Amino acid sequence: MIRWHIPAPADWEKSNIITFCVMVCCGLIVYYLHEPYEGFEYNLTTNQWKELFREDGKEWWIDDVAIVDDSTIMFTVEEVDAQHGGRYKILIL
């Protein structure tokens, strides 16, 4: 089970081969779809998910996400973020 977060994600997408999904809003969360499934918990390091750009006071506010291929995502940070605003492509595996 994947639980929703508050605030609700601004966008999300799953990979074509269904190995992971990505949720964005305050930073991004990559949730790997493999057993045994673990429910998400904040500030916990695990092999089930990774959190990026969500550190307290250093959050990136992300508008949208797209999965480019089985290991790459592309996302857009809100333009109001003068330091980080723009489009990014990163490897997540």
pLDDT digits 0-9 by tens, 20-74: 889 999 999 998 888 888 888 887 888 899 999 998 889 999 999 998 888 899 9
Domain count, the chain: 1
> From CA 86, how far away is CA 62, in angstroms rounded?
9
8 pLDDT above the threshold of 70: no
pTM above 0.85, yes or no: no
CA distances from 13 to 8, 44, 63 (A): 14, 22, 12
Instruction: Please indicate, yes or no, if residue 70 is contained in any of the structural domains.
Output: yes
10 pLDDT above the threshold of 80: no
Instruction: Please indicate, yes or no, if residue 1 is contained in any of the structural domains.
Output: no
Contacts of residue 37, Cβ cutoff 8 Å, sequence gap at least 6 = 1, 48
> From CA 60, how far away is CA 81, in angstroms rounded?
8
1 pLDDT above the threshold of 70: no
Instruction: Please indicate, yes or no, if residue 6 is contained in any of the structural domains.
Output: no
Range of the domain at 15: 11-91
Burial letters 48-61, b for 16+ CB under 10 A, else e: bbbbbbbeeeeebb
